[in-house]
Amino acid sequence: MFTLAHELAHIWVGQDALIDLRAMEPAPEAVEQFCNRVAAEFLVPAATMQAAWPEVRNAENPFNTLARRFKVSEIVVGRRALDLDLVSRAGFFAFYEEYITRERAKKKGGGGDFYVLQSNRVGRSFARAVVQAVREGRLLYKDAYALTGLRGTTFDQFADKVNGRP
């Protein structure tokens, strides 16, 4: 959402540029700083943030609480709190490092069971019908491969999962 609002601000001012928030530091260009301020104010108005902060600042995760309220990421709320002097620079960057560590841990967790995801993608009933037709000889493997997007042993393992075999 922040990037979208930021890029809309670029359109409004009629100047192209790229956003670069990797280091969470203000961009050196004046137009970038302006677009960042516009996006921040649009998504998390200063007055509303300052009014909400006292009730959440002592919560276990105040940035998450406000992120849900404003429908933006915790990073946007955290950075807005820093810009509005609601948190210290050290406090923000401690949160930022913890957030990055948490997000990296989520990504390492994997994406779920491939065969369950594939079954949901093609539809459980359809998957069962394709597997049954192949096993009964009413459908060629090459056609089953085309219908499911799977090939060879991957299809065979998928067929076993669809039929409830481990």
Residue-wise pLDDT for 47-60, tens only, equals 999 999 999 999 88
CA atoms within 13 A on the CB side of 60: 0
Alpha-helix residue ranges (DSSP H) falling in 109-151: 114-122, 124-135, 141-148
Residue-wise pLDDT for 75-124, tens only, equals 999 999 999 999 999 999 999 999 888 888 877 756 667 887 887 888 88
Domain positions in the chain: 2-108, 114-162
CA distance 42 to 46: 9
Contacts 24+ apart (CB under 8 A), 61-70: 63/95, 70/43, 70/44
Q: How many residues does the chain have?
A: 166
Q: Tell me the whole-structure pTM to 2 decimals.
A: 0.56
